[in-house]
Chain A
Amino acid sequence: MQKANSSQNLQPYFIFLLAFTSGFCIMGIELLGGRILAPFFGSSVHIWGSIITVFMLSLSLGYLLGGKLSTRSASLATYGFIFLVAAITLLPIALFSQWIMEAVFLNIEDSRYGSLLASMALFFIPTVILGMLSPYSVRLLVKSSNESGQIAGKLYFISTLGSALGTIVTSFYLILWFDINIIIFSFSGILASLGLLAIFINKSCQLHKMELSHV
């Protein structure tokens, strides 16, 4: 009984940690986006226009989809599963970006539309999925409508703080120490481990509840 309570009490902190990490990774990847595209599309101002447009667009769609998904028997397991999918969809950025960018470069002469299409191909899907996590976190944390605003506020606070840190740590240090692909693989690895941990915690909580109901 004691154990079940304590794990229930810790669960919000765990969700906040996950929200922080997804915020961290989103901005870390957005920042790397400029460096990934530069060899094929240059460093003109419109490169950042393309990247930011794609990220904002995919986040907005992600919020919509995540909110929708949260209405269907929301659980920590599904939440963890979204992290896992996000981690997997990040991999093509490291594995196939050269190939994708070359194809776009050969077919589109104007580097504005080239960079827009390339960012779409590389970042759209993972960012939509990462965006789904925000409303889903709110769903898992809110217990009564009275506290919903406060919890949403706390969640935005933590995930945006994660984004701020992801931006500064990536641009000040990570790019100075590591190859871009190593950073992407690490982000993917961290998201996947947290997702698996969420699924595991969900399983063990369910087992515990079952044991309790049998007693």
Chain B
Amino acid sequence: MFKRIAVFLSLLLLTISFVQAKVIHQERSLYRNILVEDNDDLRCLKFNVKSTKTQQSCFLKSQPQQLVFNYTKLLMASLLFNTQPKRILIVGLGGGTMSNTLAQLYPQSHIDNIEIDPAVIKVARDYFGFFENDRITTYNQDGRIFIKRALLKKQSYDWIILDAFNGDYIPEHLMTKEFLQEAKTLLSDNGILSSNTFSLSELYAHESATYKAVFGDFYQVTNKVNSNRIILVSKKGFSNSSLNESNINKLDKKLSFYGVDIKLLYRNMVNTKNNQNWSKNTRVLTDQFSPANLLNAK
């Protein structure tokens, strides 16, 4: 009985909070509809309307350093392999929460943010407290072009975060074998690349096969609630000694402040070496064959 009342009350609360969600900014950019919604303390960036999967970035106004989104927390698992990334590249800015958090965690690190949509950069600055300084830079560019140009300039990064995929549309040229090879070349010797993607649809197998073709076996961290998955790959490939357990305690103290349970993430990490759950002869995505959006619709 109490359980029922509790369920009823929480549903009621949810409805009330839903009603209270207030759109405080709305604009149509070159690429999409952008909405900023306030829901009490929670502020969210949304692309397009009325779909839960279009939430791009959220933060608590009273505790801006807390990572609200599950996938941003999942991304932190990458630090287990490289606890001190000095040069970080983030492709896909969103509200800029990832950049902000990493800037606090690693004030000495250099962070480059790449965002194709100028309107998203402006919204991040105006509504999400996204901050930049001489170490944190934002480039309004296509991710693939930035990486190609960075290679020409002989740059390298210790951590590349691919967060350019939202639920509605996938930039197909950022999911091909050729692109991943370019990104791999841009990694430093101990470099890690993390990609925030989906774990549903036919695309799952093709995407996995493509990452494996370029990087070998990889780790993934999934979240059963809203089908996010993080793919973790490294330039050198993973060995048994890659996952250093002493890193866990070191990171735990640092990360718990941001609402990240690194021990839980560690337990949820799966290496594809013994757990390959896609067919071996899955076709790899290439610049010649990249129907990611069509595959994602299946």
Binding site for B on A (CB under 8 A): 35, 38-45, 105-106, 109, 111, 172, 175-176, 178-181
Contacts and interface: CB of A to CB of B under 8 A. Distances in A.
A43 B30 contact: no
9 contacts: A38-B173, A41-B145, A42-B173, A43-B116, A45-B30, A105-B148, A111-B141, A111-B142, A180-B287
Contacts, number: 57
Nearest to B288: A179
B290 interface: yes
Contact of A176 (B30, B178, B291): B291
B142 to A, nearest CB: 3
Contact of B142 (A42, A105, A106, A179): A42
B294 A42 contact: no
Contacts of A40: 144-145, 148
B289 A178 contact: yes
Contacts of A178: 289
Given A178-B289, A180-B288, A42 B30 contact: no
Nearest to B144: A42
B134 to A, nearest CB: 23
Contacts of B288: 179-181
Given A111-B142, A111-B145, A42 B290 contact: no
Given A42-B144, A172-B294, 8 more contacts: A38-B173, A39-B173, A44-B142, A109-B149, A175-B289, A175-B290, A178-B289, A179-B288
Nearest to A174: B291
Nearest to B173: A38
B181 to A, nearest CB: 11
B285 to A, nearest CB: 11
Interface in B251-298: 286-291, 294-295
- Give 6 nearest A-B pairs by CB, closest first: A42-B142, A38-B173, A179-B288, A176-B291, A42-B145, A180-B288
Contacts of B179: 39
A42 B31 CA distance: 13
Contact of B291 (A39, A44, A109, A175): A175
A176 B142 contact: no
B289 A43 contact: no
Interface in B119-162: 141-145, 148-149, 152
B145 A179 contact: no
Residue of B31, B144, B149, B178 ringed by the most chain A CB atoms within 10 A: B144
Contacts of A105: 148
B186 to A, nearest CB: 15
B171 interface: yes
Contacts of A45: 30-31
Contacts of B143: 42
Contacts of B30: 45
A34 to B, nearest CB: 10
B294 A43 contact: no
A44 B172 CA distance: 12
A35 B295 CA distance: 16
B142 A35 contact: no
A32 B65 CA distance: 44
A39 B294 contact: no
A44 B31 CA distance: 9
B240 to A, nearest CB: 36
B142 A43 contact: yes
B172 A35 contact: yes
A39 B287 contact: yes
A180 B176 CA distance: 14
A175 B141 contact: no
Contacts of A44: 116, 142
A176 B294 contact: yes
Contacts of A35: 172-173, 287, 290
Contacts of B287: 35, 38-39, 180
A107 B287 CA distance: 22
A40 B176 CA distance: 13
B39 to A, nearest CB: 32
A190 to B, nearest CB: 20
Contact of B116 (A41, A42, A175, A181): A42
Contacts of A180: 287-289
B28 to A, nearest CB: 13
B290 A43 contact: no
